[in-house]
Structure 1
Amino acid sequence: MADRRPAGEEIRRAVLGEAHVNRSQGTATEFDRGFVDLITESAWGTVWASDAIPRRERSMITLALLAGLGNFEEFELHLRATVNTGATREDIREVLHHVAIYAGVPRANHAFKLARSIYAELEDTGDD
């Protein structure tokens, strides 16, 4: 079986950014290091490495799933990553409309609230 960790590491850094990945790796302990490796190899080295869906669309799918499932900490992380994946604010607005219809207005409402806050922060720092 191919070692998917190097590709996963590269894609993870490209999508989430060097600072986040360095911070995440720096806080990994003996207890959770295997989990970090699992995510890097499977999520990033297999799923995100596939060319079947472009990163922009994959990012939008990820955001819809995270918002729909109420995983808002991860939603924030992946929303910030859209500066690296090409998903626009208009794309995200449409994604959240979909979330409202298919996963519920309360989840979409909270995701919109988080998105407004993050976009304001990105504008203040010039990172958008």
Structure 2
Amino acid sequence: MSQTADRHSKGMQIRRAVLGDAHVDRAEAGKTPLDAPFQQMITEGAWGTLWADDAIPLRERSMLTLALLAATGNFEEIPMHIRACANTGASQEDVIQAFMHVAVYAGVPRANHAIKLAKKTWTKMEMEGDNG
């Protein structure tokens, strides 16, 4: 198996472990020839290389990802990564602590918005019976 195939296989394994089979299956089903190269790049690069590195456990990577998304104002993926915390072991308290760090270093409005999204996602997860 080539190094690229190894990264893709490992990336899919990590991606499924973190985001869940249902999410990955939806993403794969929606893939088109136009965005297939992008999907391959994130599977191999983000999931098969960065997330696959054991230097930082998945729990901490989840919190880092949430903090970076909030700090940079990229809120659209926060609900997805809040759901992923149920698979990586990051608790609601862990996530709130990460967002408090965001408040100090990147601004209260960004942290406040991220917390609102997190609370909304946790409520939705509870209603769906998905409590991690």
What TM-score results when the alignment is normalised by the length of structure 2? 0.94
The answer to whether structure 1 residue 55 and structure 2 residue 72 are counterparts is: no
Q: Are residues 1:29 and 2:29 paired?
A: no
CA contact (8 A) 2:78 2:118 kept: no
Select the residue among 15, 34, 53 that pairs with 1:12.
Answer: 15
Aligned partner of 1:100 in structure 2 is 103
Q: Unmatched 5+ residue regions in structure 2?
A: none
Identity of aligned residues (%): 57
Separation (CA, whole Å) in 2 of partners of 1:12 and 1:122: 20
User: What residue number does 1:2 align with?
Assistant: 3
**Which secondary structure state, in structure 2, belongs to the residue aligned with residue 64 of structure 1?**
helix
Aligned-partner SS, 2:53: coil
Q: Which runs of 5+ in 1 are unaligned?
A: none
* 2:71 and 2:110 in contact (8 A); partners too: yes
Q: TM-score, normalised by structure 1?
A: 0.97
Query: Which runs of structure 1 show a deviation greater than 3 angstroms over 4 or more consecutive aligned residues?
Result: none
Number of corresponding residues: 128
> 1:80 offset after TM fit, Å?
0.8
Asked whether 1:110 is paired with 2:117, we answer no
Work out the CA distance in 1 between the residues paired with 2:118 and 2:15. 21
